[in-house]
A = this chain, B = another copy of it.
């Protein structure tokens, strides 16, 4: 429901449905912005401030009082002050007793302080009901109404009634409150707005590294080698030809790396004979960023598709085809149709299309709203079964593309094999091990282990709980 329109509403000072009075401690930018927005939505606002001098900036229709006086006028007090200035609140303990204190603060670094700001506030003012909220909303967004980004306001607190009051305010401002439970969650809520794609860092750096390596590898083979030995200037290959070699290679390797940690985990579990030992940290982290790895791989596959489809409109390609026709005419020959070439050309393209289609399907099911609307069994089916099928199709696409050229010695320049050969190493290893793992003699103990069975446990009786749940 678009609530943008509410921004157009003028100050509702004479609105008939006057809402309750809210007190805001602090007349900084965020406090003023929030006050202005709440005023528009029908609340009465009282600012609590050390001095009443900043009054020119204060929204019209509000009062500025001392902290103590302001607090007495309202049941809800929004603390729009930085953590390092919280100390003075200890003096107001009596006035604040039983009131709802809303902590809206953020830090500059993740885990900057030993405890969250909200928990610190709860210690300072033990009699008040502390609620954490609004820290994910920016002052600019509140004022400009450009709330295209997340309208979600994470709310947590130990007092349910206080939390409910704050969530009602959030809703009235046209935002979506999300109850995050007790005040323990404040730490994560405070860290949240400081993150910049934390799960994406490793996959993106890895993709950049791989791209750079294969870019220079192809540069040496496809541009520098012909320049040195044949004195041909093929520098324009940098624009399309080389990217179209690098993209599929990186996509294939990243896709294989999505499935590699699962295989390593399976081997570890088989080796240890239990699933209750912790995986090494690097494996844990790797497993947690598989979705992001897969999506980065999809990006490279998407670019590969675009780069491939524009091939026939490239000037270079058209020129080469013309030269080929003209050479046939001059030699007065018509090259006959080669059936094998027809098969190879059509089948590697077809495998690529099917692989890309499944890849896009995997990408769509990883959209939050789609993955939320499928159950665990359906998600496993798509991500595991269809995922492996995608990997098989893409690997086959590359193998058939190689076709007859694999053993052709002319493909080696400066002893360097063609780049696509290197891209096949990881996927082939993953598929080979996976093939071994699905043999019944290996799959069965693995399934047992994943259902909680332990090889070394004395009480190795059959798992007590329903199989259908733990079978992955």
Residues 345-377 of chain A, each 1 if its beta carbon lies under 8 Å from chain B, else 0: 111011001101100110000111111111111
* B-binding segment of A133-141, A216-224, A413-421: A133-141
In the complex, whether A8 has a CB less than 8 A from a CB of chain B is: yes
A138 and B193 within 8 A (CB): no
Which residue of B has the minimal Cβ distance to A318? Answer: B321
Known A366-B148, A378-B197; contact A29-B334, beta-carbon cutoff 8 A: no
In the complex, whether A48 has a CB less than 8 A from a CB of chain B is: no
* B-binding segment of A87-95, A424-432, A462-470: A462-470
* B-binding segment of A177-185, A201-209, A249-257, A436-444: A177-185
Question: Which one of B17, B56, B329 contacts A459 once the chains associate, using CB atoms below 8 Å?
Answer: B56
In the complex, whether A214 has a CB less than 8 A from a CB of chain B is: no
Alpha-carbon distance A324/B326, docked complex (angstroms): 11
Indicate the size class of the contact surface on chain A: 35 or more
A340 to chain B, nearest CB (A): 9
Question: Which one of B31, B168, B316 contacts A464 once the chains associate, using CB atoms below 8 Å?
Answer: B31
Known A138-B472, A374-B149; contact A154-B1, beta-carbon cutoff 8 A: yes
Known A1-B154, A179-B171, A457-B56; contact A195-B337, beta-carbon cutoff 8 A: no
In the complex, whether A6 has a CB less than 8 A from a CB of chain B is: yes
Known A56-B457, A150-B376; contact A466-B105, beta-carbon cutoff 8 A: yes
A404 to chain B, nearest CB (A): 13
A138 and B376 within 8 A (CB): yes
In the complex, whether A433 has a CB less than 8 A from a CB of chain B is: no
Give the residues in chain B near A451, CB-CB below 8 Å.
29
Alpha-carbon distance A144/B279, docked complex (angstroms): 9
B199 and A4 within 8 A (CB): yes
In the complex, whether A308 has a CB less than 8 A from a CB of chain B is: yes
B349 and A310 within 8 A (CB): yes
Which residue of B has the minimal Cβ distance to A464? Answer: B28
A17 and B465 within 8 A (CB): no
Give the residues in chain B near A306, CB-CB below 8 Å.
305, 353, 356-357
In the complex, whether A72 has a CB less than 8 A from a CB of chain B is: no
Give the residues in chain B near A141, CB-CB below 8 Å.
376
Give the residues in chain B near A107, CB-CB below 8 Å.
468
Q: List 5 A-B contacts (CB under 8 A).
A: A148-B383, A160-B164, A171-B185, A193-B377, A306-B356
In the complex, whether A422 has a CB less than 8 A from a CB of chain B is: no
Residues 292-330 of chain A, each 1 if its beta carbon lies under 8 Å from chain B, else 0: 000000010011011111111111101101111110110
Give the residues in chain B near A302, CB-CB below 8 Å.
357, 360
In the complex, whether A280 has a CB less than 8 A from a CB of chain B is: no
In the complex, whether A86 has a CB less than 8 A from a CB of chain B is: no
Give the residues in chain B near A193, CB-CB below 8 Å.
375-377, 468-469
A42 to chain B, nearest CB (A): 7
In the complex, whether A62 has a CB less than 8 A from a CB of chain B is: no
Which residue of B has the minimal Cβ distance to A16? Answer: B115
Which residue of B has the minimal Cβ distance to A145? Answer: B288
Which residue of B has the minimal Cβ distance to A54? Answer: B459
Give the residues in chain B near A326, CB-CB below 8 Å.
325, 328-329, 334
Alpha-carbon distance A284/B459, docked complex (angstroms): 53
In the complex, whether A143 has a CB less than 8 A from a CB of chain B is: yes
Give the residues in chain B near A366, CB-CB below 8 Å.
148
Known A146-B287, A171-B185; contact A236-B463, beta-carbon cutoff 8 A: no
Which residue of B has the minimal Cβ distance to A305? Answer: B306
Give the residues in chain B near A310, CB-CB below 8 Å.
308-309, 349, 353
Give the residues in chain B near A106, CB-CB below 8 Å.
466, 468-469
Other CB < 8 Å A-B pairs besides A2-B198, A149-B374, 9 of them? A56-B457, A139-B469, A139-B470, A140-B450, A172-B185, A239-B347, A314-B349, A319-B335, A319-B337
Alpha-carbon distance A439/B164, docked complex (angstroms): 46
